[in-house]
């Protein structure tokens, strides 16, 4: 596996690449800024594939849309890999020079014939073959994905299956080619970069690496625990066991954003103590013992954000926050004071300079340089370094400076929540252009394109079930049941329905979703739920 942490390519490259494979992403609606860059690439002549169960508004830009079954991504990817190998289109020189484990990979994908992949994925074999040939023969190509790949019980395996394709064809580590997980907010990337991961210190330094830990301990004057913390899914398991009794929530709304919401709210309600630090009074904040009003990071605070292309950029304070709201750094410093640590009150730049002294990939990013260069892409190890436009260029060096990148064969496993006679319909979830996540930041604004809390169904299903467009139906899964209006929508197909995550108050989709989660990444399988749709009694 390639060293993880960020997309390999920069936005500029998707504007000039030859082939774009948008896999499990409705970026047109969920990542509109990135999609603008993607559109430039398409306008510049890039061919585009979209792999998505729904024919989304993103997929409508694609030259070819593959309407895959939910959760069948590995079968499709492995079939693409097999076809590339059998057609003699693998980049043999790159595979021999820069990778390891090819033979095992080739053996692992061998069962995934086009016919077998068609059976599993529902996508015609010819279309899979065409994707394989176009991807392998493109001069440059990028695979871009988001939650359609990662909100599954086997999220990490899904990603690995895509990485294997890049290794097979040499579409990584050079200008224009790459692997691009698109990030949500303007600073999701920055959150991970800064160590908001249970097993990482800032700059993706491993918590169990004593040398890395030692640097932090020396500067901070405290011992850093060597054990990884808990990711959010494990936190709820710990609550269930009674091991976790208090929660400090900063800028999250787990009461509405997590799978199997009824359980989540029960567990939150049973905690001894909740502190919530947010710019809005979220549902989670309503359950908290203490709410700390925070300043908005945009326009009310100084600092940096990091985009999907690993570019660290400055944000500047223009307004004083309203009321008692305070900058996050100030809140944390005040809290440290009360706890008897006395950090003082560092400015955003002072905190950033401390980070630069500890995180090698940020070392060269002085505020002055961030301003001069209009942001810098990590890694940037010193103040003479221009930043890094694309990652893994070392794969093309000769001799190779590190161990070759390993193929990691993966096996298709269907979604955990199986379809049955009682729950015959596949429900998937996602985002719309007009709203953001649980609606905390967008629900207060009107939008002419807002569909609200509806379940999108294929018109043919509507006919078969006797459900009219706009009719309120009951949707039930093995965990819960909600009632909401059905909306006919052409992006679906018979047997596939969709609910957005934006309306937890009147379309609480996480009452239905399963909390099966990927043990390697901790993400839950929001994308695949088995449901049944029933008409309400007259």
Residue 165 CA: distances (Å) to CA of 142, 354, 370: 11, 39, 35
Nearer of residues 65 and 236 to another protein, judged by Cβ: 65
Q: What are the start-end ranges of the H helices in 242-323?
A: 254-257, 261-270, 283-286
Do 481 and 427 form a contact (C-beta atoms < 8 A)? no
Number of residues that bind another protein (CB under 8 A): 23
Strands 200-201 and 205-206: antiparallel
Among the listed ranges 29-37, 98-106, 116-124, 296-304, the one in contact with another protein (CB under 8 A) is 116-124
Residue 324, SS3 per DSSP: coil
Among 35-43, 142-150, 304-312, 423-431, the segment contacting another protein (CB under 8 A): 35-43
- Kindly state whether residue 48 participates in binding another protein, applying the rule CB under 8 A: yes
Distant-in-sequence, close-in-space partners of 198: CB < 8 Å, separation ≥ 6: 228, 229, 230, 231, 234, 522
Which of residues 52 and 327 has its CB atom nearest to another protein in the complex? Answer: 52
- Does 149 bind another protein (CB under 8 A)? Our answer is no
Count of alpha carbons within 13 Å of 386, Cβ hemisphere only?
2
Residue closer to another protein by CB (options 79, 274) is: 79
The SS3 assignment for 456 reads strand
The yes or no reply on residue 42 touching another protein (CB under 8 A) is: yes
Q: Segment near another protein (CB under 8 A), from 54-62, 361-369, 416-424, 498-506?
A: 54-62
Query: Binding residue for another protein (CB under 8 A) from 2, 14, 30, 66?
Result: 66
Interacting span for another protein (CB under 8 A) from 57-65, 262-270, 368-376, 388-396: 57-65
406, 389 contact by CB (below 8 A) = no
Taking the least distance from each CB to another protein, the nearer of 130 and 441 is 130
Q: Find, among 407, 3, 18, the residue nearest to 175 by Cα.
A: 18
Smallest CA-to-CA distance from 19 within 117, 137, 119 is with 137
Contact positions with another protein (CB under 8 A) in 401-420: none
Q: How far is the CB of 124 from another protein (least distance, A)?
A: 6
CA atoms of 402 and 462, how far apart (whole Å): 56
Q: How far apart are CA 59 and CA 49, in angstroms?
A: 8
Q: Which residues, numbered 470-499, are part of the site for another protein (CB under 8 A)? A: 493
Q: Give 438 or 491: the residue with its C-beta nearer to another protein.
A: 491
* By CB under 8 A, residue 39 contacts another protein: yes
Cα–Cα distance measured from residue 248 to residue 273, given in angstroms and rounded to the nearest whole number? 8
Query: Rounded to an integer, what distance in angstroms lies between the CA atom of residue 32 and that of residue 14?
Result: 14
Alpha-carbon distance of 364 to 345, in angstroms, equals 24
- Report the residue number, 11 or 105, with the smaller CB distance to another protein: 11
Q: What angle do CA 446, 452, 458 make, to 5 degrees?
A: 140
Identified binder of another protein from the candidate list 35, 65, 94, 216, rule CB under 8 A? 65
| Smallest separation (angstroms) from another protein to the CB of 484 | 18
Q: Is 59 in the site for another protein (CB under 8 A)?
A: yes
64, 113, 185, 442: which one binds another protein (CB under 8 A): 64
Beta bridge partners of 291: 276
Contact range with another protein by CB under 8 A, out of 4-12, 56-64, 80-88, 385-393: 56-64
Task: Tell me the C-alpha distance between 475 and 459, whole Å.
Answer: 17
- Least distance CB 414 / another protein (angstroms): 17
Q: Site for another protein (CB under 8 A): which residue of 2, 19, 30, 68?
A: 68
Report the sign of the C-alpha dihedral through residues 176, 182, 188, 194, in that order: negative
Nearer to another protein, 11 or 517 (CB): 11
The answer to whether 497 touches 513, Cβ cutoff 8 Å, is no
Closer to another protein by CB, 38 or 106: give it.
38
How far is Cα 85 from Cα 139, in angstroms, rounded to an integer?
A: 17
Let me know: does 27 contact 35? Beta carbons within 8 Å.
yes
Stretch that binds another protein, among 38-46, 89-97, 173-181, 256-264 (CB under 8 A): 38-46
Site for another protein in 119-138 (CB under 8 A): 122-124, 127
Q: How open is the CA angle 425-430-435, to the nearest 5 degrees?
A: 135
Of 47 and 356, nearer to another protein (C-beta) is: 47
| Cα 216 from Cα 224, distance rounded (Å) | 8
Cβ proximity to another protein: between 36 and 520 the closer is 36
By rule CB under 8 A, what string of x and - marks binding of each residue 421-450 to another protein?
---------------------------xx-
Which spans of this chain sit near another protein (rule: CB under 8 A)? 39, 42-43, 47-48, 55, 59-68, 122-124, 127, 448-449, 493
């Amino acid at each position: 596996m390639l060293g993880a942490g960020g997309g390999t390519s920069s936005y500029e490259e998707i504007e000039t690449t030859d082939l774009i494979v948008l896999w499990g992403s409705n970026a047109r609606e969920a990542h509109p800024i990135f999609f603008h860059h993607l559109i430039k690439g398409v306008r510049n002549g890039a061919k585009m594939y979209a792999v998505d169960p729904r024919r989304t508004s993103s997929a409508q830009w694609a030259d070819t849309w593959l309407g895959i079954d939910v959760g069948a991504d590995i079968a499709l990817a492995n079939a693409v890999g097999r076809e590339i190998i059998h057609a003699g289109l693998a980049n043999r020189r790159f595979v021999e020079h820069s990778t390891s484990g090819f033979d095992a990979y080739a053996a692992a994908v061998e069962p995934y014939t086009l016919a077998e992949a068609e059976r599993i994925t529902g996508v015609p074999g010819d279309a899979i073959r065409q994707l394989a040939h176009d991807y392998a023969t493109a001069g440059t190509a990028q695979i871009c994905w988001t939650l359609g790949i990662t909100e599954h019980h086997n999220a990490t395996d899904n990603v690995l299956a895509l990485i294997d394709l890049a290794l097979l064809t040499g579409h990584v580590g050079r200008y224009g080619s790459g692997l691009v997980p698109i990030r949500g907010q303007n600073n999701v990337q920055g959150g991970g970069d800064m160590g908001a991961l249970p097993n990482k210190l800032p700059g993706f330094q491993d918590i169990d690496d004593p040398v890395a830990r030692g640097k932090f301990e020396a500067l901070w004057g405290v011992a850093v625990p060597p054990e990884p913390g808990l990711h959010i899914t494990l936190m709820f398991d710990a609550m269930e066991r009674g091991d976790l009794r208090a929660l400090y929530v900063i800028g999250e709304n787990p009461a509405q954003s997590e799978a199997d919401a009824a359980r989540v709210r029960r567990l939150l309600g049973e905690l001894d103590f909740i502190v919530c630090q947010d710019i809005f009074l979220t549902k989670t904040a309503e359950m908290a013992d203490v709410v700390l009003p925070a300043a908005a990071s945009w326009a009310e605070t100084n600092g940096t954000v990091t985009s999907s292309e690993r570019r660290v950029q400055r944000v500047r304070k223009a307004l004083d926050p309203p009321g008692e709201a305070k900058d996050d750094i100030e809140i944390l410093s005040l809290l440290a004071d009360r706890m008897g640590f006395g950090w003082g009150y560092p400015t955003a730049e002072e905190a950033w300079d401390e980070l630069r002294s500890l995180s090698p990939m940020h070392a060269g990013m002085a505020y002055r340089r961030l301003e001069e260069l209009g942001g810098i892409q990590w890694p940037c190890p010193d103040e003479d370094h221009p930043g890094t436009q694309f990652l893994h260029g070392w794969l093309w060096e000769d001799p190779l400076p590190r161990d070759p990148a390993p193929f990691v064969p993966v096996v298709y496993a269907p979604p955990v929540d199986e379809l049955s006679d009682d729950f015959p319909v596949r429900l998937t979830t996602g985002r719309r252009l007009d709203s953001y996540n649980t609606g905390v930041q967008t629900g207060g604004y009107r939008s002419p394109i807002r569909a609200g809390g509806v379940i999108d169904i294929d018109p043919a299903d509507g006919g078969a079930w006797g459900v009219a467009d706009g009719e309120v139906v009951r949707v039930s899964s093995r965990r819960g049941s909600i009632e909401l209006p059905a909306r006919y929508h052409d992006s679906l197909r018979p047997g596939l329905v969709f609910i957005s995550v934006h309306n937890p108050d009147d379309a609480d989709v996480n009452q239905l979703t399963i909390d099966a989660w990927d043990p390697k990444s901790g993400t839950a399988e929001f994308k695949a739920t088995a449901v049944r749709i029933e008409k309400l009694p007259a």
